[in-house]
Copies of this chain bind each other. A is one copy, B any other.
Amino acid sequence: MIFEVAQIRIKTGQAAAFEAAYRQAQQQLAAAEGYIAHELRRCLEQPDQYLLLVHWRRLEDHTVGFRGSPHFQEWRRLIGPFFDGPPSVVHYQSLDEHELGAADRAG
Contact = CB atoms under 8 A, between A and B. Distances in A.
A42 B93 contact: yes
A55 B102 CA distance: 14
A99 B59 CA distance: 20
Interface string A47-62: 0011101010001000
A78 to B, nearest CB: 15
A5 B96 CA distance: 16
A100 B38 contact: yes
Contacts of A2: 44
Which of A26, A53, A59 is most buried by chain B, counting CB atoms within 10 A of its CB?
A53
Nearest to A101: B100
B102 A41 contact: no
3 interchain residue pairs of minimum CB distance? A41-B92, A103-B103, A100-B101
